[in-house]
Amino acid sequence: MLDLEARVLLEVCGGCERIRTTALPASLTWITRMAIGLSLLAMPWFLCAELGWVVIPAAGATTLLLLVAELVANALEHPFGIEYDQLDPSVISSVIDRNTTEILGVS
């Protein structure tokens, strides 16, 4: 039973380490930002004939949505840390310590 728990623990630790060390390629980030910028610049020109003046709030709302999506993507790129929206490694390690102590029966 202990061997199975240790194996699962090591798989979880390995997954967390891969998440922590794997960053998005800079080219992917650059392409995403460029695509967002170009679409935001071109959108009012394409929608103006169909929507008229409504295109201004529509473009603003779309801009806000895409910028928030970019911020979320940047936050997800670095999930571990000490800021309010990141996973705290010390809390995760204390839970692992508590669970292994409980499984092993050590006080």
* Cα dihedral across residues 61, 63, 68, 69: positive or negative: positive
Q: How many structural domains is the chain composed of?
A: 1
d(CA 75, CA 55): 30
Report helix, strand or coil for 6.
Answer: helix
Residue 94's domain spans which residues?
Answer: 2-104
Q: Which residues are registered as beta bridge partners of 33?
A: none
Q: Is the pLDDT of residue 95 over 70?
A: yes
* Identity of the residue numbered 7: R
Reply yes or no on whether the pLDDT at 107 is more than 70: no
**Number of residues that this document lists for the chain:** 107
In angstroms, rounded to a whole number, what is the distance separating the alpha carbons of residues 9 and 5? 6
Is pLDDT at 20 greater than 80 in this prediction? no
Q: What does pLDDT average to over the chain?
A: 81
Helix (H, G, I), strand (E, B), or coil: what is residue 87?
strand
Name the band, by pLDDT with cuts 50, 70 and 90, for residue 48.
confident
Task: Identify the band that residue 59 occupies on the pLDDT scale cut at 50, 70 and 90.
Answer: confident
